[in-house]
Amino acid sequence: MLAVPPQPLPLFAGTSFSDGSFRRPFSWSKLNNSSSRRLALPVAAVARDEDDFTKYSGYVFELNPAEEDSLTDYNIAKIAAFYQKKPLIVFRRLVQIGSTLGKWFAVRYMDTVNERADEMFKIRAAELRKILLQLGPAYVKIAQAISSRPDLVPPSYLDELSLLQDRITPFSSEVAFEMIEKELGMPIDVVFSEISPEPVAAASLGQVYQARLRSTGEVVAVKVQRPGVQSAISLDILILRYLAGLIKKAGKLNTDVQAVVDEWASSLFREMDYNREARNGIKFRQLYGAIQDVVVPEMHLERTTRKVLTMQWLEGQKLAGVKDLYLVEVGVYCSFNQLLEYGFYHADPHPGNLLRTYDGKLAYLDFGMMGEFKQEYRDGFIEACLHLVNRDYSALAKDFVTLGLIPPTSDKAAVTEALTGVFRDAVAKGVRNISFGDLLGDLGFTMYKFKFQIPSYFSLVIRSLAVLEGIAIGINPDYKVLGSTYPWIARKVLTDSSPKLKASLRALLYKDGQFRIDRLESLLSESLRAKTERSLIENQNGGTDTKVVIKQILSFTLDDKGAFVREILLEEFAKGMDALGVATLDSVTNAVATRLPFSPSRPSSMTDEDITNLRNLQRLLLLISGLRENENPRMVNGVGTSNEQMMSLNGAPVALRQFEAVQEFLPLLSVLPELPQDMQRQLLLLPADLAGKLASRVAARTLKRVFL
């Protein structure tokens, strides 16, 4: 479905606009109950040539209604049995595919031999697009996915293949109107008071008309399925699946390529059921329609069948055609929710399905191809991202087993070593510079060596992420989807109630009982990059006000979702305060001792653990007050500082002098009155909780000194 501008336009065949949107101008055909049910088509429609799919592949879908209805669901055994009875059609299709694509590849090879490859690039790209149109929807769908990756496809091919997203020659409007009447079971003028005589957009599986409901006067989009797609796709999937089996055997691949084809084919068959698409749209709207600046059209179930879909009309421009970084971030956040919050995701987010509405919102269209991401895999994916960013390749190898990417019998040590070699350079650039596409490319050899396999469920997830990154790269060549998604992953890990993710967070923050505050700092700082307000996105390169950072950190830690992290922070604060008490006692004792004659030197009672805890306390206070370690020039560097280094010449610990600059913490105090009432109440409870934990540590330390 594509948009048309609200102002009336004269009728002509169609126009491609420089702003990236595609609009087919139209004039309304007014319908009334006394008029003939058959509409008078405009001259352009009557004179239009037959679409290439019907012209060159029409023999594939010359089936009677009973035969066509037998292919409504994806069942490879039933499809194979069906076409065993039609060997001539199968043979003719194989010849057509082999001859057209074979000829094209041969010509491309000759261009290379004759050193004319660059000269003929645009011509060959246009020829390939025409071939794909002739072969039909299955091949167009493959090309659509490829065309969403400008980092992988040469510009000339990208321009041509992008035309397959929404600029396909439509089929006859007379056929479409007959299908509407047949599917809805009533004359078209009973349902609609007005309808565009020509489609406003045409895609591989169907085409869209703008209409007005007679009952309510609402302007709607009416999508009509292209005749013959069910039988054509069934035959092509049968052929592709057979070829996938040959490729797996010839290439000795670990991945079950046929299973990947089956997963894609199943989603394609589900996409051809408009009843299912309407239900998907309703569910998608319920889950994600409330996200700020996301728009999901309403579905009209009472005017929807398996081959006709009626939905709310939306107007706008293709997202890929406008430079709106904010909406890209909104799309990343929405995709995060789809994949990792609810597991119900849009598996076909190509540029034709994402619009920027005229009021600046992101609209999702076309809910035929959706995927389900189970909870166990969602948790595994989050853990894999955490372990990748934190360079924990041993844990990452275990995550790959959980996700079904490698067999449980694999040599974990060897896999860990291989993953370290693959990802070390990529991760060294920082999480914000990690490219999803680059990671997949770097993984190629390792996948083959250790018999990696791409589970069928994962193929759609990979495609969804790859397509989304491709759209973003078209707007910003330096954009990294994983780098932009990681802040939301960090926030989810810090706030999720899942026992598995809580255990993962604790394992990430503690090693051999030692608190790794640098990882908490990293998670918190990354989670603060998860911004959804347009002003913050547009000004993100200008720095962030310290007061804003403090407020975000306090809001997070005092919220109910931050309870688990709050407990960890209180525990570490108690350890630090305990160590501070020991340091203070040492300081006072030494100060008194230096004033007494003949007083023997007294060794410090602080242990290495106390020194570490004291340093963690310093860093926690700076973190909460919106400062980072490298912003405080007086910070003690290095965990291994000795007891003597912790003491200054006048006997006062260096650590104590870190807290003398009270003005550094004034922003923290100024933010407190601005917090919501419930958070202020939670803040008042913290001293008592901290005192209880501190008393427990002091008591344990005293008993240890008395009895040990």
Report how far residue 338's alpha carbon sits from residue 637's, in angstroms, rounded to the nearest whole number. Answer: 42
In the chain, the N- to C-terminal Cα span, in Å, equals 77
Q: How far lies 387's CA from each of 332, 423, 427, 450, 464, in Å?
A: 21, 11, 11, 20, 22
Find tokens 């370290």 and name the residue.
420
Pairing of the two strands 294-295 and 362-364: parallel
Catalytic residue among 273, 293, 324, 348: 348
* Residue 484, token pair as written in the block: 């932009």
- Comparing CA positions, the residue from 620, 627, 702, 705 lying closest to residue 655 is 620
* Residue 191, token pair as written in the block: 């349902």
**Residue 512, Ramachandran bin (φ over 0: left; ψ between -120 and 50: alpha; else beta):** left
- The dihedral sign for the CA sequence 134, 135, 141, 147: negative
- Establish how many alpha carbons lie within 13 A of residue 203's alpha carbon, considering only the half-sphere containing its beta carbon: 25
Q: What are the residues whose beta carbons fall under 8 Å from the beta carbon of 10, sequence distance 6 or more? A: 25, 27
Active site residue 348: yes
Q: How far lies 82's CA from each of 86, 95, 121, in Å?
A: 7, 19, 40
Number of CB atoms found within 10 A of residue 199's CB: 24
**Residue 632, Ramachandran bin (φ over 0: left; ψ between -120 and 50: alpha; else beta):** beta
Give 22's strand partners: 16
* Residue 520, token pair as written in the block: 């908490």
Indicate the SS3 state at residue 683. Answer: helix
DSSP category for residue 531 = -
* Residue 323, token pair as written in the block: 């430079």
H/E segment holding residue 330: helix 325-336
Question: What sections of 390-435 are H helices per DSSP?
Answer: 393-402, 412-428
**Residue 341 burial (C-beta neighbours within 10 Å; 0-12, 13-18, 19+):** middle
Question: What sections of 22-136 are H helices per DSSP?
Answer: 43-47, 52-57, 65-69, 76-84, 87-113, 121-135
CB 144 within 8 A of CB 167: no
Residues marked as catalytic:
348
